[in-house]
Structure 1
Amino acid sequence: MASVGSRRKRAKLNWSGQSSGAGEELVRPEALQLTRKYLRETGNETARGLASSSDAELLQRLGAFGDDGLLTNAARLLFAGNGHSVIEYRFRGGHKELRPDGELSALEQLTLVLDAVRDNNPEVQMPDRVEERTVPALSELAAREAVVNGVVHRDWVATHATEVEQEHRFGALRVRSPGGFVRGFGEYNIFSRSPFPRNPELMKLLEPLGLVENRGAGVGRMVTELIGNGQPAPTFREVEDSSVEVLLGGRPPDPAWRFWITELGWPRELEDHRLLLLLRRVADHRWIDVRTAARITHTPELLAGPLLKRLRTIEVSGGPLLVPVTGVPPESPEVWTLSQPVREGMTELYDRLKLAMPGRDRQTVARSYVQSRGRLSTTELGSILGISAAGAIPLIQKLERTGVVQPAWAHRKGRGFHYVLKDPVSGGG
């Protein structure tokens, strides 16, 4: 028997464009008032002109009517509602809950929750040397994307509400929306797959309001906002009852990271959120190879290679951002690390702001490398950390004492001597 999730995945994906059988008279004036407010706030001249039109013209130009002259399902939901609470909000730590009245339109309910998320987003104290004294714990743009996506891309065959939960500490945000991943999407490919909206007509209605981008760049914008602030990338997973859950934040913003990228000049390549993911990975672990790049960007290695190559083309003050790790066997895939000037510049910036720098724990860096690559030499580790091969010996010896690695051969001598992962089954990284 097919599961509820699989049946939902096979459900018609054009629900939003089908006729609701309802006319314009059901539209709530409050919903149209909100629509005009959003249109004016876009700053777009065309949108402002649209906001000044009559109710009927406004709905017509937004595309609220189907071929039969009646409201589409998307328009009825957005401007009239469906009699249910379609989104709920919970603020943990502040003991606040919000369950909008089911008589409200989806746009009104969504606005109430967006306002609550913004108002309860805690402020984080910045170091003395940073111009801003406090900053929001979570990017307002990323938070809005997550909440809006939880309404736009959910399965409207299900009647239970999209759940939004916000933490008091660092503003971590969890959005759980009914309906599993759609059309081949999953937690391990969502950063790279071309967008495929479940409810395209709903997106078209919200796009002029500035709440979504019709080209489906929501995931990329979330990644860019979070990684750009030095926070973890959003995580997506399918949970019980065939819902998709996205988690944002959970760690304070890192002003030094943003300053560092600014000093790089925000290279055009970093407009691609996948390259920003790769850059953060190199900073955190001090090395990257094509297999790791594929896993981080949710792409096959065949496509991850060109992404990594684009990252390698970035220059900093006339020199390369990344350089090859020395000591890698010629038959093995290349490994890349931060160039010495880049590494030193990052260290100086973090020291000046008195903040913990990513990748500074040398033992963690060494462990991540050997667990992923299966081998480690003093030459490789020295190249990654910017220290001598002799300086890398104590770090590897500690890994040996803790049972992580063992010598590749017993006499520990000879050209190419290295260590191997003691328990390859535990490898990862």
Structure 2
Amino acid sequence: MDRIIIEFTEFDVPGGSVTNRAAPRAETSLLEQLAETERVVAAVNTSITIERGIRHEALRRIPELSVREALLNGVVHRDWNRSEPTEVRWFEADSMLVVSSPGGFPGEVTASNILSNREARYPALADLFRALGLVDKQGVGVDRMYREMITIGHRPPEIVEAAGTRVECTLVGGRPVYPVMECVRAITPAERQKDYRIAIILYELMHASFVTTARVQQALQSSAEAARVAIEAARQSTVESEALIVKHKKAWLLGGSARRRLASAYDGDSAFPIVSYLTTDIGNQSAAALDWVDTFSAITTGDLQALTGTARGTAKRTLDALVDDDQLATAGSGRSSRYERP
């Protein structure tokens, strides 16, 4: 080949100093270059030990399978008519991996349909990698990245078309979130623990108090029918004999056991707090209430109780405070009493 296909650079922080560079020899094959890059990334993607009583578990800062899929996608789907290498960048302080490959998205693929669009730029190359056992069915790698990242408490991969007509896949890892792992491992039937659709629905409900079919459709980048099928799979899954998700009016909420397991993961100082709506913080409760009103036009005290798991008095104080702040107004009376946008 006599060409460097993939290069690795390590930084201390984004925009900071280069602490390591590694490029395979140009005369080596694509598979050899890929294997060498995997070894280099594995050396910096160190393990973190999670201690739970007498149990110790070592996990990579970014799951190895996610790293591998990002590297494979960055090579298989790159524009081979361009001479520059696929760039692999590691940012040590953030436990962040960025794989940047030459060329934009192929065909009709976009950032908003990459989960559901199975188009390949070079189908023959994808078939070759599949025949070698390096990749599975076209598009499954992205699904796996989502599942692997979410199920240990990380954010899903960000895959975008960047300036200079390059596709960038960013994986941000770090310390796994054990309550999320425990919740996923408690899901039955066990095969649903590997279902990327369940992982995505769970992720949505870790960051919003409810989901709708439309929200699941958007998150899965799928059709409404596919979203309903995914919701039904989640509804039939359980955590400690309680449904993973439960219906409230026209929305779906986390089931009780899943809520109890995830509640201990809440970190109010995080930029991406998990199940913040389950706290009694009035700001978090208000955000859940307004989200519901903006989706369904009105909210009752009972609705907010269901969304946040708080007592009736707490829910009513939150809604009354939003009225005092002119963000909501009361409507109706008695059993039809509700709160709406002014």
- TM-score, structure 1 normalization: 0.68
What are structure 1's unaligned runs of at least 5 residues?
1-80, 329-333, 423-429
1:299 pairs with one of 216, 222, 231? 222
Per-residue deviation, 1:191? 1.6
d(CA) in 2 for partners of 1:130, 1:162: 43
1:186 equivalent to 2:105? Answer no
* Residues 324, 130 of structure 1: alpha-carbon distance in 2 compared, 3 angstrom cutoff: farther
d(CA) in 1 for partners of 2:228, 2:45: 38
Could you tell me which residue of structure 2 aligns to residue 416 of structure 1?
336
d(CA) in 1 for partners of 2:320, 2:77: 51
Per-residue deviation, 1:128? 4.8
- Does the 8 A contact of 2:126 with 2:138 survive in 1? no
Which is higher, the Rg of structure 1 or of structure 2?
1
* Residues 99, 301 of structure 1: alpha-carbon distance in 2 compared, 3 angstrom cutoff: same
Could you tell me which residue of structure 2 aligns to residue 407 of structure 1?
329
d(CA) in 1 for partners of 2:102, 2:285: 39
Could you tell me which residue of structure 2 aligns to residue 10 of structure 1?
none
The SS at the match of 2:99 is strand
Please report the RMSD computed on the Cα atoms of aligned residues, expressed in angstroms: 2.8
Q: How does 1:56-71 map to 2 (within 5 A)?
A: none
Q: What amino acid maps onto 1:96 in structure 2?
A: N
1:230 equivalent to 2:153? Answer yes
Deviations 1:262-291 (A, max 9, x none): 122354344331221002222332321112
The SS at the match of 1:132 is strand
Could you tell me which residue of structure 2 aligns to residue 85 of structure 1?
4
- Does the 8 A contact of 2:105 with 2:167 survive in 1? yes
d(CA) in 1 for partners of 2:46, 2:322: 40
Deviations 1:54-96 (A, max 9, x none): xxxxxxxxxxxxxxxxxxxxxxxxxxx2x33221111111711
d(CA) in 1 for partners of 2:56, 2:189: 20
Could you tell me which residue of structure 2 aligns to residue 285 of structure 1?
208
The SS at the match of 1:383 is helix
* Residues 266, 246 of structure 1: alpha-carbon distance in 2 compared, 3 angstrom cutoff: farther
- TM-score, structure 2 normalization: 0.84
1:311 pairs with one of 231, 234, 253? 234
* Residues 253, 401 of structure 1: alpha-carbon distance in 2 compared, 3 angstrom cutoff: farther
Higher strand share: 2
The SS at the match of 1:288 is coil
1:337 equivalent to 2:257? Answer no
* Residues 277, 306 of structure 1: alpha-carbon distance in 2 compared, 3 angstrom cutoff: same
Q: How many residues align?
A: 326
d(CA) in 1 for partners of 2:72, 2:285: 37
- Does the 8 A contact of 1:152 with 1:203 survive in 2? yes
Per-residue deviation, 1:144? 0.9
Could you tell me which residue of structure 2 aligns to residue 220 of structure 1?
143
The percent identity for this pair of structures is: 24
The SS at the match of 1:394 is helix
- Does the 8 A contact of 2:5 with 2:33 survive in 1? yes
Q: What amino acid maps onto 2:53 in structure 1?
A: R
Could you tell me which residue of structure 1 aligns to residue 305 of structure 2?
382
Could you tell me which residue of structure 2 aligns to residue 367 of structure 1?
287
Could you tell me which residue of structure 2 aligns to residue 262 of structure 1?
185
